[in-house]
Amino acid sequence: MSSFIVIIPARYASTRLPGKPLRDIAGLSMIQRVWQQALKSNAAQVVIATDDSRIEEAAQAFGAQVCMTRADHVSGTDRLQEVAQQLGLTDQQLVINVQGDEPLIPPAVINQVAENLAQHPQAGVSTLCEPIETVADFLNPNAVKVVSDKQGMACYFSRAPVPWPRDHFQASQVSMPALDLARRHIGIYGYRVAQLNSFVTWPVAPLEQAESLEQLRFMWNGVGIHVADAVEPVPAGIDTEEDLQAAISIINSN
């Protein structure tokens, strides 16, 4: 297993769920649960990155390493790069971005995304996906789709339904075709620090702007992204009060 560092970006401001990282989930804050899951991975170091003193104070209280970052970052990738810079990481160091709103993320998929990046030197970024089972998910623009080649390198990410099963959907759009190609992107990323350093120097790419998907900035600039099916199901992140209650129910039932 290659050495890697997990960075967990955590912002206090959330329009749909204010103070999200500090919301209680069965006795522990959301950010503490994410941190604990990351500690169960093979990461050499786990760092919480925030621009909010309330999150910093809470994280330090449960023993986490915290990096305070600027408040004006336009994306989580920019925040990640600042942390890598603060920590003095080398260009080839592997950094895994675990979202701060995924308290149920399996440690195995954190290890997987790191190992996939280590084993594919042609890739500057790695990520995961899962099969799409329903037509509703396939057509949903909030479910990001990814198409990859036989080497597992991404061809494209889109909110549109791709690849489009023309013949099947000409006949019917009530079921998915038997051909198992449709994949939903899972938002966990591995990066080489060199690519993070490049990312923050590039302008927003036209495809990125059109789809509102920042991973397309890497592809626009010729950086390969490795994609694989996740080794375990990855529960959805928490965006709403309903999501929060669902996570509490899952944890209380285990």
Does 156 score more than 90 pLDDT? yes
Give, in words, the CATH class of 4-253: alpha beta
CB distance 176 to 182 below 8 Å: yes
Q: Distance between CA 242 and CA 231 in Å, rounded?
A: 26
CB distance 208 to 214 below 8 Å: yes
pLDDT at 82: 96
**Residues 204-219: what's their mean pLDDT?**
97
Q: Write down the domain spans for the chain.
A: 4-253
- φ/ψ region of 221 (left if φ > 0, alpha if ψ in -120 to 50, else beta) reads alpha
pLDDT, tens only, 109-142: 999 999 999 999 999 999 999 999 999 999 999 9
DSSP annotation of 152: S
Does 1 score more than 60 pLDDT? no
- 3-state secondary structure (DSSP) of residue 134: coil
CB distance 107 to 40 below 8 Å: yes
pLDDT band at 179 (very low <50, low <70, confident <90, very high): confident
The burial of 200, by beta-carbon neighbours within 10 Å (0-12 exposed, 13-18 middle, 19 or more buried), is given as middle
Looking at the chain, the whole-number percentage of residues with pLDDT higher than 70 is 99
Please list the residues that pair with 129 across neighbouring strands: 185, 229
Q: Distance between CA 251 and CA 253 in Å, rounded?
A: 5
**Residues 233-246: what's their mean pLDDT?**
89
